[in-house]
Amino acid sequence: MTDSSPFYITTPIYYVNDKPHVGHCYTTLVADAVARFMRAAGRDVFFLTGTDEHAEKVVTSAAERSLTPIQWADRNAAEFQKAFAFLQCSNDDFIRTTEDRHTQRVRDYIQQLLDSDDIYLGEYEGWYDPSQEEYLTETTAREHDYKSPVTGRELIKRTEKNYFFRLSKYQDRLRKHIEQHPECVQPEARRNEVLGRLREPLQDVPVSRGSGDASGSSGASGGGGTSGGSGGASGGGWGILMPGDESHRVYVWIDALFNYLSTVDTPERQRYWPAQVHLIAKDILWFHAVIWPCMLMALGKPLPATVYSHSFWIREGRKMSKSLGNFLDLPTIEAYCRPFADGGFGIDAFRWYLLTQGPLGATDADFAHDKFVEVYNADLANGIGNAASRVSNMIAKYFEGLCPVAQGVSDVDAALGKTAQSCVERAFERATLTHADPASGFRAGVDISNAVDEYIALTAPFKLAKDPANMQTVGTILYQCAEALRIAAILMSPAMPSAMADLLGRLGQDAPDDKGRFAEPLEELCKWGRLQAGTRIVKGEALFPRWDADRPVPTP
Ligand code: ME8
- Could you tell me the CATH number of the domain that includes residue 443? 1.10.730.10
CA of 195 to the centre of ligand 1 (A): 22
Residue pair 171/201 in contact (Cβ under 8 Å)? The answer is yes
Domain that holds residue 458: 369-525
Task: For residues 382 and 302, state if they share a domain.
Answer: no
Residue pair 23/281 in contact (Cβ under 8 Å)? The answer is yes
Q: How many helices (H) and strands (E) does the chain have?
A: 22, 15
Residue 342 is given by DSSP the state G
* Mutate-to-test residue for ligand 1 from 9, 18, 26, highest number of ligand atoms within 8 A of CB: 26
Task: For residues 408 and 481, state if they share a domain.
Answer: yes
Going by alpha carbons, the residue nearest to atom 4 of ligand 1 is: 14
For residue 140, the one-letter residue type is T
| Total domain count, the chain | 2
CA of 550 to the centre of ligand 1 (A): 35
Task: For residues 301 and 382, state if they share a domain.
Answer: no
Residue 537 placed within a domain: no
Which residues have any ligand 1 atom within 6 Å of their CB?
Answer: 12-15, 23-24, 26-27, 52, 219, 256-257, 280-281, 283-284, 312-313, 320
Determine the Cα–Cα distance for residues 431 and 419; give it in Å rounded to an integer.
Answer: 18
502-518 in b/e burial notation, b at 16+ Cβ within 10 A? bbbebbbbebbeebbbb
Compute the Cα dihedral for 542, 546, 551, 556 and give only its sign: positive
Residue 468 placed within a domain: yes
Going by alpha carbons, the residue nearest to atom 3 of ligand 1 is: 14
Determine the Cα–Cα distance for residues 185 and 285; give it in Å rounded to an integer.
Answer: 9
Residue 551 placed within a domain: no
Determine the Cα–Cα distance for residues 15 and 121; give it in Å rounded to an integer.
Answer: 28
Residue 470 placed within a domain: yes
Strands 241-242 and 245-250: antiparallel
Residue 326 placed within a domain: no
Residue 62 placed within a domain: yes
Task: For residues 499 and 431, state if they share a domain.
Answer: yes
Task: For residues 303 and 403, state if they share a domain.
Answer: no
Residue 117 placed within a domain: yes
Task: For residues 50 and 158, state if they share a domain.
Answer: yes
CA of 217 to the centre of ligand 1 (A): 13
Among the atoms of ligand 1, which is closest to the Cα of residue 52? 6
Going by alpha carbons, the residue nearest to atom 2 of ligand 1 is: 312
Among the atoms of ligand 1, which is closest to the Cα of residue 312? 2
Q: Radius of gyration of the chain from Cα atoms?
A: 26
Residue 193 is given by DSSP the state H
CA of 2 to the centre of ligand 1 (A): 34
CA of 509 to the centre of ligand 1 (A): 38
Q: What is the pTM of this model?
A: 0.93
Which run of H or E residues covers position 505? helix 497-506
Given 310, 330, 359, the domain boundary residue is: 310
Q: Encode the chain (556 residues) as per-residue pLDDT tens digits.
A: 889 999 999 999 999 999 999 999 999 999 999 999 999 999 999 999 999 999 988 999 999 999 999 999 999 999 999 999 999 999 999 999 999 999 999 999 999 999 999 999 998 888 988 777 778 888 889 999 999 988 898 999 988 889 999 999 999 999 999 999 999 999 999 999 999 999 999 999 999 987 644 333 333 333 333 333 444 434 568 999 999 999 999 999 999 999 999 999 999 999 999 999 999 999 999 999 999 999 999 999 999 999 999 999 999 999 998 888 899 999 999 999 999 999 999 999 999 999 999 999 999 999 999 999 999 999 999 999 999 999 999 999 999 999 999 999 999 999 999 999 999 999 999 988 988 789 999 999 999 999 999 999 999 999 999 999 999 999 999 999 999 999 999 999 999 999 999 999 999 999 999 999 999 999 999 999 999 999 999 998 999 999 999 999 999 9
Determine the Cα–Cα distance for residues 321 and 307; give it in Å rounded to an integer.
Answer: 26
Give 121's strand partners. 163
Nearest to 530 by CA among 516, 517, 518: 518
Give SS3 for 21: strand
| CATH code for the domain of 63 | 3.40.50.620
For 122, phi then psi, to 5°, come to: -140, -175
Residue 250 placed within a domain: yes
CB atoms within 10 A of CB 165: 23
CA of 11 to the centre of ligand 1 (A): 9
Going by alpha carbons, the residue nearest to atom 9 of ligand 1 is: 23
Determine the Cα–Cα distance for residues 346 and 333; give it in Å rounded to an integer.
Answer: 10
Task: For residues 377 and 246, state if they share a domain.
Answer: no
Task: Render pLDDT for 290-303 as a digit per residue (tens, 0 to 9).
Answer: 999 999 999 999 99
Task: For residues 140 and 54, state if they share a domain.
Answer: yes
Going by alpha carbons, the residue nearest to atom 8 of ligand 1 is: 23
